[in-house]
Amino acid sequence: HARIASAPKGAQCVRKAMTDSLHIETSIRISAPPDRVWALLTDFAGYRRWNPWVIEVQGGLAAGGILALRLVHVPGEKPTFSRVRLLSADFPVMHWEGGHEDATYFRGNRRFCCEAEGDACLFRQEEAFTGAAAEAILRRHGERFRANFERFNEALKEAAEG
């Protein structure tokens, strides 16, 4: 599992201004300690028990490794597959990127953050999209992407609080 001790300087939950249409940012307050949320987030084998969107993750927590994701974008529809590169998984931040093989076409750079808020956790999930097709893809699929972030967040909250 990824480290849950004190965070290194580079792994802080730094808020970035996400003001344009090529970003999605969601957050949820979870009535559980950040280390419990982090344990669920980084236990890829456990995703199938609680996550309705990312139903399977194959791969480890080593930075630079490839993760194979099985995703259900629309409830009841057939899963799709995607690959992402894990950039880091140092408490309190997990960070990966994925998209088209040609990064100039479409790329997503996603950060998950478990931040202490009193005795609870403020969980944030945000993604920045780049590439020539990013704007068109987000016009077509952006609301579904946001809805899936929210589904992920709600399911993580339920699992952590349960």
The average confidence (pLDDT) of the chain is 90
The SS3 call for residue 60 is coil
Please name the residues in contact with 92: beta carbons below 8 A apart, sequence gap of 6 or more.
Answer: 7, 11, 12, 13, 34, 38, 113, 114, 115
Low-confidence ranges of the chain (pLDDT < 70): 1-21
The DSSP code sequence of 61-76 is: S-TT-EEEEEE-SSTT
What's residue 116's pLDDT?
Answer: 96
What's residue 16's pLDDT?
Answer: 53
Distances (CA, A) of 74 to 54, 69, 128: 11, 15, 21
CB 122, CB 37: distance < 8 Å: no
What's residue 72's pLDDT?
Answer: 95
For residue 84, give the nearest of 46, 111, 123 by alpha carbon.
Answer: 111
In this prediction the pTM is 0.88
